[in-house]
Amino acid sequence: MRAVVQRVSRASVRVGDEELAAMERGLLALVGVGSDDGPDDARELARKLVHLRVFPDDEGRMNRSLLEVGGTLGVVSQFTLYGDVRKGRRPYFGGAAAPERAAPLIEAVVEAARAEGAPVVTGRFRANMEVDLVNDGPVTLLLDTRGGF
């Protein structure tokens, strides 16, 4: 699984006129599922997200986790993280999991993060979403459970 993770001071997700989720301080994770990913990847990604030490301590060093600061995790599915643009100009999405395989794995990330104690908000799988966020720092990280980057 892959994720683009941003430390945010606030974020929200909308589909049309409906606000699906809103959060204050925390991490917003855009999550893609690869065709070879499974439940272990979902659990690993969730653990990494809630325990990443990217929030400042009393000296201003990135030394605290989402759980330590009482932040919220936002999880938004994003198959385009598996877009391959090494050839040509149109992304090839052959490495992304099919929707019927990806949806339960996105939900597994959400459930595993909640089991770790993190409050979680989500987008809507397969919807055309508008994601609004204020990146705090800015802090943006790339995660890949298969070590791709």
Radius of gyration, alpha carbons of the chain: 15
Catalytic residue of the set 80, 122, 140, 149: 80
C-alpha–C-alpha distance, residues 65 and 71, integer Å: 9
Q: Is 80 a catalytic residue?
A: yes
Separation between Cα atoms, residue 93 and residue 87, nearest integer Å? 12
Active-site residue, selected from the candidate residues 6, 72, 78, 145? 78
79 is catalytic: yes
String of DSSP letters for 95-149: TBPPHHHHHHHHHHHHHHHHHTT--EEE--TTS--EEEEEEEEEEEEEEETT---
Instruction: Supply 42's token pair.
Output: 């979902």
Active-site annotation holder among 6, 55, 72, 79: 79
Tell me, yes or no, if 6 is annotated catalytic.
no
Q: Are 122 and 21 in contact (CB under 8 A)?
A: yes
- Which residues belong to the active site? 78-80
